[in-house]
Amino acid sequence: MCGLVGFSMAGGAPDAQRETALRMLDSIAYRGPDERGTTQQGGVVLGHNRLTIMEPQGGRQPRVGADSGNALIYNGEIYSHRQFDAGIVADGGQLRDHCDTETLFWLLQQRGIENTLEAIDGMFAFAWYDAGADALYLARDRFGQKPIFYSVVDGQLIFASEIKALRQHPALARVAPDLDALALYLMMEYLPGAATGIDGVFELPAGHLLEWRNGAATVRAWWRPDTKSRVRPDMPGLEAPLEHALVEAVGTQLVADVPVGVFLSGGLDSSLVAAIARRHKQDVATFTVRFPFASFDESAHAEKVAAHIGTRHTTVELGRQNCIDGIETLLANLDQPFADSSFLPSYLLCRATKEHVTVALGGDGADELFLGYPNFGLLGWAPAMARLPRRTGRLLRGIAGLLPGSDGYMNTAFLLRQLSYGIGRPAELQSPYWMSAVPAIDQSRLWQGRDDVESVIAAQLREQIPGSRRVALLDQCQQHFIEAYLAHDILTKMDRASMCVSLEVRSPFLANDVADIALRLPHETLLQGRDGKLVLRRIAASYLPDTTIARKKHGFALPVAALLRGDLRDLAAAILLDRANPMYAHVDHATVDAWWRAHVDRGRDHGKRLWALLMLAAFYRNQFA
């Protein structure tokens, strides 16, 4: 894994341009602590931090063609890259260090950008300068496992792996918030699409390509998930190809020149990856965390799976002080609003895992590809709920408020309240409303001087999920989960959590062959009633104990409601209620304070919304103070 920076030159001395690139690299040095390099080619400056995973003596970047002047900086892994060696040599390429950086360079030079993207299987974000065409390309992998951000300022393109690196460029010394995007964030807990919460700063979406030529940027999709080409449910032999592809993907992703382990939560997805890894290797190290909150802790399940499959297992004890120290670190480094509370335990797991290995495999992507989330099972009720008046939702929230208070995982009052937000909304949009942190209906009194927030949020959601009578509701929901939730929540969380500690995390479920098969499976092999991932459960029968296969999905979240009342109360209050925070130029302090007081006095459970607001306050403090 690595960190990328770069920009098109807008005059100035070469030494000054290089110093700017070095400052950008320094801000994300943890992404690649092993080596650093810069180059200037044509009108482009490129910089690279390297975390060495393969071929320690080779793979140095930027990679520049001595004859062509073409240049590459690249973050990620191209799996099975050696399969291209013979073709590269036959076409006149000269392979020296046999690393995936070299492979990617020659493929781009010989085949061009589009054909290369179609051919490779991996996780990546890269910048490719084509000297002959004087064009710069930025590209991102299918699902968005590796990030890249960019901005165009006064005719200059600036890009980097993280926003904090962008901000080191003098053209982005001062920025302003994107209020429409931040309203959507408060509802969804993350930002889908290209918006980052900063006006004029964008994330290149997953599966997209940016071309910079003649001072102008064009962005286009090179891949999108196709959920409309499913095979018939009566076609035989659907499980065997999937199992073969998954076994191959795990085997391929275990290859590295550094120690490799596996995250093991005790749930179906990570347990299946670990079990397959154990069949590839005699000695497999697995890792999980033990929460100090009983209803959120899965460590006992993980330990049972580890004993069953025979891995060398480590359980990381996550104490209350770990939570406090960890959240302080994350809040200090937040350069984009992000409120998935599992970010914290993911970071602490990655930090502990890094003490043992440099690469870890995980189960990310399975819920999106195999319909594992409860949302998919609830979609059958969505058309009827869409026809109900919205006052029914208010009534349901009233009932939820009468139930006994609980800080337990997915308690009944919480579930009823979340479900109520979708009532009266279009069927295809209900899923994001069910997951609301600060519901759209409550944001009109939160933002100062804005009475259009609900309509602004609805319009942005409609851009994410256009709705179509020709596409099944389940397929629309799955596509949104893949393009929005997977890319901008799940994979964003894991990239930031792992890169903070220089750990590489790989996801076998997102391998090309596995994903292509999954997206062709008929609904009947994936979902039955409210039970998803049926085909994975059948495959797992020969790898895992029945109790693991039958377990209901359990998230990796923190009990934020309890933490905000207890261990994190002082820390959260100091940031969230600080009137000097620039957030309060746009947000009503009295409303936030009222929600806070109601929550800490146990009158209401506002944990989910207060956590999102806490992250927003930290974002404002870090970016606009």
Lowest mean pLDDT among 156-165, 311-320, 480-489: 311-320
Integer CA distances (angstroms), 396 to 389, 411, 422, 610, in order: 12, 15, 11, 21
Structure tokens of 397? 């929230």
What confidence score (pLDDT) does residue 55 get?
61
| Two structure tokens written together for 263 | 């995250």
- Tokens encoding 401: 């408020």
User: What does the block give as tokens for 365?
Assistant: 């992507």
Q: How far apart are CA 472 and CA 557, in angstroms?
A: 30
For 528-557, write each residue's pLDDT tens digit.
888 899 999 999 999 999 999 988 776 666
Name the amino acid, one letter, at 151.
S
User: CA 583 to CA 48: how far, in whole Å?
Assistant: 34
Mean pLDDT of 342-359: 91
89: tokens are 């040599």
Residue 384 backbone phi and psi in degrees, to 5: -65, -40
Type of residue at 475: D
Rounded-to-integer distance, Cα 479 and Cα 485, Å = 10
- Phi and psi (nearest 5°) for 154? 50, 45
- Give the range among 219-233, 274-288, 367-381 with minimum mean pLDDT: 219-233
239, β-bridge pairs: none
Sign of torsion over alpha carbons 554, 560, 565, 569: positive
What pLDDT shows up at residue 599? 94
Cβ burial 548-579 (10 Å sphere, 16+ → b, else e): bbebeebbbbbbbbbbbbebbeebbeebbbee
pLDDT bucket at 44, cuts 50 / 70 / 90: very high
Q: Residues 160-217: pLDDT tens digits?
A: 999 999 999 999 999 999 999 999 999 999 999 999 999 999 999 999 999 999 999 9
Give the residue with greater pLDDT, 200 vs 558. 200
pLDDT band at 496; cut points 50, 70, 90: very high
Sheet holding 156-160, edge to edge: 35-41, 44-50, 2-8, 156-160, 149-153, 201-203
User: How crowded is residue 438: how many other Cβ atoms within 10 Å of its Cβ?
Assistant: 24
Compute the average pLDDT of residues 154-165: 96
Beta strand pairing call for 71-78 and 156-160: unpaired
Residues comprising the chain, all counted: 625
pLDDT greater than 70 at residue 250: yes
- pLDDT tens digits, 377-424: 999 999 999 999 988 988 888 887 777 766 655 677 788 888 888 999
Residue type (1 letter), 467: G
Token pair belonging to 206: 């997953």
207, 141 in Cβ contact below 8 A?
yes
Instruction: Tell me how far apart the alpha carbons of residues 305 and 275 are, in angstroms, rounded to a whole number.
Output: 9
Kindly list the structural domains of the chain, giving each domain's residue range(s) and its CATH number in brackets, ordered by start.
2-221 (3.60.20.10), 239-371+485-550 (3.40.50.620), 559-625 (no CATH)
**Nearest residue to 1 via CA among 203, 281, 258, 207:** 258
| Alpha carbons within 13 A on the beta-carbon side of 346 | 28
